[in-house]
Amino acid sequence: MRKISNVVGKCRFLVLVLIFIGILNAQKPLNNDIIRELEKSSSKGLKTRTTNKTHPKNNVKEKSRIKKTKKRISKKNKIKRRNKWKKKKRIKKKLPFKAFKKTASGALGQPFRGRLAVNYKLRPSRNYIIKNPERHFNYGTRWLISTIVTASARYKRSLGKSFTRIVVGDLSKKGGGPLGGHNSHQNGLDVDIGIPAKGLHLKGFTSLPNSRIDMRKTLLLLKSFIDTGRVQVIFIDSGIKAGLYKYINDNGLTRYKKYLNKLYHEPGHRDHMHVRLRNPG
Nearer to Zn ion, 180 or 252 (CB): 180
Min dist. Cβ of residue 275 to Zn ion (A): 8
| Window 261-280: contact mask with Zn ion (x via CB under 5 A) | -------------x------
Question: What mask, x for binding Zn ion by CB under 5 A, covers residues 22 to 41?
Answer: --------------------
**Contact track, Zn ion, 219-258, x by CB under 5 A:** ----------------------------------------
In this complex, which beta carbon is closest to Zn ion, that of residue 220 or of residue 234? 234
Binding mask 181-210 for Zn ion (x = CB under 5 A): -----------x------------------
User: Can you say whether residue 14 is alpha, beta or left, with left for phi > 0 and alpha for psi between -120 and 50 degrees?
Assistant: alpha
3-state secondary structure of 54: coil
Q: Which is nearer to Zn ion, 217 or 272 (CB)?
A: 272
The neighbour count for residue 172, using CB atoms within 10 Å, is 29
Q: How far is the CB of 235 from Zn ion (least distance, A)?
A: 7
CA distance readout (Å), 265 to 43, 173, 199, 255, 277: 57, 25, 26, 22, 17
Residue nearest Zn ion, Cβ-based: 274
Residues 6 or more apart from 275 whose CB is under 8 A from it? Answer: 190, 191, 192, 193, 225, 231, 234
The count of C-alpha atoms lying within 13 angstroms of the C-alpha of 13, restricted to the half-sphere facing its C-beta, is 6
Q: Based on CB atoms, which residue is closest to Zn ion, 154 or 274?
A: 274
> How many Cβ atoms from other residues are within 10 Å of residue 83's Cβ?
10
* H or E element that contains 29: helix 2-44
CB of 144 to Zn ion, least distance (A): 12
Q: Name the residues that contact Zn ion, by CB under 5 A.
A: 192, 274
